[in-house]
Amino acid sequence: MDAKATLKEFCSAVERRDGKALAALFTEEGVYHDIFYGAFKGRAKIAELIDDWFYRTAQDFLWDMHDPVTDGRTLYARYTFSYKSNLPEAKGGRAMFEGVAIITLKDGLFAEYHEVANTATAFVDLNFAPERIAKIVAKQGAALKARPEMARHL
């Protein structure tokens, strides 16, 4: 597996709203754990995440993966991610955040995709009220706490 090329295809599939292409990078039973929307299991659900969920409230996605590292079992990459929000309070603004992708590999495909990201800056960019940001960040913290095995990636 060429990690750099595979991650480029991953990002490109999201940017062009091609859930089927992104899902093809996963095993049949692969799971995409999205920081906002939760877990999507199986290729059909992963394609739905991209084609429907991502584009429900946003458009014009830009995603770049940086400095991938893999041992053949796990693939790590830093990323920058941005999008133009369709939410009313965002007033057409662009949100950006940085994170780390943590991908479990099986036979050259993604078995699981996880991410850890600082999304608070994106919510400030989107003009979310401080109370709303606090709720979202608390929810993300609780999700991470519920998966203590993810702490080893921090």
Structure tokens at 132: 């709303």
Q: What is the pLDDT of residue 43?
A: 98
1: which DSSP letter? -
Amino acid at position 136, single letter:
I
Mean pLDDT, residues 101-117: 96
Q: Is the pLDDT of residue 121 over 50?
A: yes
The CATH class of 3-146 is: alpha beta
Q: How confident is the model at residue 15 (pLDDT cuts 50, 70, 90)?
A: very high
Residues in Cβ contact with 50 at an 8 Å cutoff, skipping those fewer than 6 apart: 13, 14, 17, 18, 19, 22, 23
Between these two residues, 48 and 35, which has the higher pLDDT value?
48
pTM: 0.83
- Local structure of 91: helix, strand or coil: coil
DSSP 17-47: T-HHHHHTTEEEEEEEEETTTEEEESHHHHH
The predicted pLDDT at position 109 comes to 97
* Share above pLDDT 90 across residues of the chain, in percent, rounded to a whole number: 62
